[in-house]
Amino acid sequence: MAVITTTRRTQHFGRTTTPTCKYWLAGRCNRNPCRFSHTLPTSPSNIYYNPYTTYNHSKKPTTCTPKPLQKPPNHAPKALVSVEKPINCRGEAMSVEKVIECGPKAMSVEKATKCEQKPLLIEKTIDVEDAATVAKASVEKSRSICKYWMTDNCVHGDLCPDLHSWFYGDGFSPLAKLHEHNKVVTGNALSTGSDKLYSGSIDGTVRAWDCNTSRCVNSINLGSEITSLISEGHWVFAGLKNSVKAWNIQTGADVTLDGLKGQVLSLNFGNDILFAGREDGVIYAWRGNSDPKAESAFELVVTLSGHTKSVVCLAIGCYKMLYSGSMDHSIKVWDLDTLECTMTLNRHTDTVTSLICWEDYLLSSSSDCTVNVWVCTEEGTLKVTYTHTEENGVLGLYGMTDAEAKPILFCSCKDNSIRMYELPMFLERGRLFTRQEVRSFEIGPGGLFFTGDGTGLLNVWKWLEEPKVVLIVNALGRW
């Protein structure tokens, strides 16, 4: 490639020019103000100035035979560019080819003669348009978002090596931003038969969003931090301190399940049973009551003890089992019929942050930066068949299929990003970026999915049937 060179302040025929900042051209100048120019260089106006003219200072011509040029090493790719033919010490023209390495520096080509001339550095100048093209081409985009762009303070523009976007990847697109919560969003839920999206937050409120207008249509202040939110059928459940709040979207029934001690950190529903994991390591189980004359729609069945620290995640599936992950670094497996613990899995070395069941596989994530894939053996035990490692701790796992029905795993990490992988090979499909950590994720119809971060922002995304289509008609009205 051609080499852009900048020299110190020079003077040609009384005209003073300021050299262009080479770091600015590469998009890496961080000086403000900078003593070099942040504009593209202009072509020299003096037509008599030729930096490639070879001057002969010897009084008498001497006999000398230039040696052939030494070939550059074979390991470096080369490009040959013809330049103006210099003359030797006899005044004869000789053929010289310029060899430029594909690297940041030009090779020095020597004329080995008896005149003992100094090595001549041959370079090729480029015009203004070429300079801009080379500068932009030299910037390789990283896979990290620019922190200065996030605060509208990036001065590099298109030459910035970091991303100026909240996501990268193909096949999906952002649709809407819903910002009413003022603290971290801990759960999203879509109730059956409703066109409302429900969100819960540490700010103590549950908000209902109209899917046709993208507006918040209702807000319920529960007066306590909401650390989990799920839906099952027509019911929406919110985990609070010392209780679980439940609403029936169809009938308007309002139920409080109390008697707990401590914050409810995780919720799940399966086999007609509501499970709630507390911060003291105990799991409460309520069975749904179908008797219309019953005092409560849910009846406490049993409490499951075994964890020594907080139960932060629950999953149901994979051979009709309940799986619980805890801050004690363990995963416990409970039989849904007998509600007894059948095994304990000790593979992670830090808090088990998330569990999902996908077909016959159990996937677990941890603050130890790993994602384990578990499979059931012939002996009836679970073993790890694959371990995926991230650079940062993993906060949550979420799974869905894309527009082509390919399984996609979402990994929310502590670096304020969500990594998207195509299973089973863990091929990266893209990344989503947020200002703070993503703590909630919900799958909607028609390829929709929702993410909630630490700032209280809810983002609405959609998988596209045609990745290049700009206009999106979604399944839920305006979304």
* DSSP sequence for 370-384: EEEEEEE-TTS-EEE
Q: What is the pLDDT of residues 322-335, one digit of tens each?
A: 999 999 999 999 99
Give the pair of three-digit tokens for residue 180: 């009413």
> Alpha-carbon distance 298 to 237, whole Å?
12
Q: Over its length of 479 residues, how does the chain's per-residue pLDDT go in tens digits?
A: 444 444 444 444 444 567 888 777 777 787 778 878 887 665 444 333 344 444 344 444 444 444 444 444 444 444 333 444 444 444 455 543 443 344 434 434 344 444 444 443 434 444 444 544 444 444 455 678 888 888 888 888 888 888 888 888 888 999 999 999 999 999 999 988 788 999 999 999 999 999 888 899 999 999 999 999 999 999 999 999 999 999 999 888 899 998 888 999 999 999 999 999 999 999 999 998 877 667 788 999 999 999 999 999 999 988 889 999 999 999 999 999 999 999 999 999 999 999 999 888 999 999 999 999 999 988 889 999 999 999 999 999 999 999 999 999 999 999 999 999 999 999 999 999 999 999 999 998 889 999 999 999 999 999 987 544 333 333 344 45
> Alpha-carbon distance 259 to 409, whole Å?
36
> Alpha-carbon distance 413 to 398, whole Å?
12
What's the whole-model pTM score? 0.69
Predicted pLDDT at 479: 52
Residue 47: DSSP 8-state: T
Exposed / middle / buried, residue 180 (Cβ in 10 Å: 0-12, 13-18, 19+): middle
Long-range contacts of the stretch 440-443 (C-beta < 8 A, 24+) = 440/185, 440/186, 440/187, 440/188, 440/199, 440/229, 441/188, 441/396, 441/398, 441/410, 441/412, 442/187, 442/188, 442/189, 442/190, 442/197, 443/398, 443/400
> Alpha-carbon distance 283 to 293, whole Å?
27
| Per-domain boundaries in the chain | 67-124, 167-463
Amino acid making up residue 328: D
CB contact at 8 A, 290 and 330: no
> Residue-wise over 96-126: b if at least 16 C-beta within 10 A, else e?
bebbbbeeeebbebebebebebeeeebebeb
Count the Cβ atoms, other than its own, within 10 Å of residue 427.
10
Domain 167-463 has CATH 2.130.10.10: yes
Count the Cβ atoms, other than its own, within 10 Å of residue 303.
14
Give the pair of three-digit tokens for residue 212: 């046709």
Q: What is the pLDDT of residues 410-458, one digit of tens each?
A: 999 999 999 999 999 999 999 999 999 999 999 988 899 999 999 999 9
The H or E element that residue 399 is part of is strand 394-401
